[in-house]
Structure 1
Amino acid sequence: MAEPIPVESTREVVVAVPVYDAVHGLSRTWPQNYRLNFDVTPHGEVVIRGDKAGLRGLAVQLLALAEPDVPDRYHHRIDDFMLEVDRGSSPVRIEQAG
């Protein structure tokens, strides 16, 4: 893994993330009126495209999966069937690897 590049300045952001529940899992909270799309280029590059609300919503999902009480291998499948991303978006599975 490459050495991290020093950051000249940072911004602290406070975010509320869903709490894991053994019966119900993680709640899928998304902002209202957002845009989010996943695509794969012909060269295999994954493109995540979203407006600010959509990118923040995705960040909340990732942060929730990273919480210590979430079991290993817990995952979310994000696809247009559940209307969580724009129609025609490639489906994505985000998983806590443990």
Structure 2
Amino acid sequence: MAEPIPCEQTREVTVEVGVYDPVRGLARTWPQDYSLSFDVTPHGDVVIRGDKAGLRGLATQLLALAESDVPPRFHFRIDDFMLELDRGSMPVRIEQRD
């Protein structure tokens, strides 16, 4: 893994994330109105497109997945079928590695 590039300026952000439950899985909450989609270019680049609310919503899902009470290899899928992504977006599986 590459060495982190020092950041001269940072901003502290407070975020509430979903809680993991062994029976129900990871609680996933999204903003009221947002736009978010995933696509792959012909060259194989993954493109994430979203407005500010959509990108923050995705960041919240990723932070929740990274919490210590979420078991290793836990995963979830986001797609347009469940109305979490814009219509026509590629579905995405997000998983935690050991």
What is the TM-score of this pair, normalised by structure 2?
A: 0.97
The Cα shift of 1:27 comes to 1.2
1:55 is aligned with what amino acid?
L
Map of 1:41 onto structure 2: 41
Match of 2:96 in 1: 96
- Pairwise CA RMSD of aligned residues? 0.7
Q: Distance in 1 between matches of 2:81 and 2:28?
A: 14
Distance across 2 between alignment mates of 1:3 and 1:17: 28
1:87 Cα deviation (Å)? 0.4
Is 1:67 aligned to residue 70 of structure 2?
Answer: no
2:56 paired residue number: 56
- 1:3-49 deviation per Cα after TM superposition (whole angstroms, max 9, x unaligned): 11110100000000011111111112000110000000000000000
* Runs of 4+, deviation exceeding 3 Å: none
The runs of 5 or more residues in structure 2 that have no matched partner are none
Give the strand-richer structure, 1 or 2: 2
Measure the CA separation in 2 of the matches of 1:90 and 1:24.
25
Normalising by structure 1, what TM-score?
Answer: 0.97
Identity of aligned residues (%): 79
| Separation of aligned partners in 1, 2:2 and 2:27 | 34
Matched, 1:6 2:9: no
Kindly provide the amino acid, as one letter, of the partner of residue 3 in structure 2: E
Rounded to whole Å, the distance in 1 between the matches of 2:71 and 2:4 is 28
